[in-house]
Amino acid sequence: MVSRKHKKDVLLHEKLQLLRSVTNSHATNDSSIILDASKYIEELKQKVEILNHEIASGESTSYQNSWPVVTVEAVEKGIQVNLYSERSCPGLLVFVLKVFEELSLNVLEARVSCTGSFHLEALGAQSEQTGKRIDAHIVKQTILHAIENWSENNDHQD
C-alpha cells in the first residue's frame, strides 16, 4: 500500500513538472523551478503593464508586441536586469546604461545580443559612495521610463 506522504510527493512532483513545462524552465530542482516560474510571472506582469500603458496612450497593436520586456531583481551581488525585445532596438543600450549611471550602479557583468532581437542581461552593483541599497522596483521603473524616452526619440527620427 502506498503511503499518503508518497502520494503527496508524487502529486507535488507532477505539478512542479507541469509548472516547469508551462514556464519553459530548464531547471532540474524544485526551488529553481519555482524561481523560474516567479520570473516568468514577473515577465507576464511586465507585458500586462506595457499593454495597459499602450492601450491608455492609444498606441497600435503591432507596436505593442515590439516593446521590450524588463525584469529587475535584487540578488546577492546587486541588481539583475534582464531586458528582451523580439525586434532590434538601435540605441536602447545607451538609454539603459544611462539609467545605471544615474542610479550609481556599476556594471559588474553584462551580456548583450542585438542580432535580429535585443537581449540584455546585466548585473549592477551599488556604488560604495552612495552607502544605501537601491530598490529593484525603482530600477525597473527608471528603465521603463528610459524605454519610453528611447521610443519617443526613435519616433521623432523616423
The span from the CA of 158 to the CA of 153, in Å, is: 9
Give the pLDDT confidence score for residue 142 in this predicted structure: 93
Give the pLDDT confidence score for residue 156 in this predicted structure: 54
pTM of the model: 0.56
The span from the CA of 28 to the CA of 15, in Å, is: 14
97-121: pLDDT as tens digits = 999 999 989 999 999 988 888 899 9
Assign 71 to helix, strand or coil: strand
The span from the CA of 86 to the CA of 116, in Å, is: 8
Handedness of CA 54, 55, 59, 64 (dihedral sign): positive
Residue 20 contacts by C-beta under 8 Å, 6 or more apart in sequence? 27, 33, 36, 37
Set of cell numbers at residue 158 = 523616423
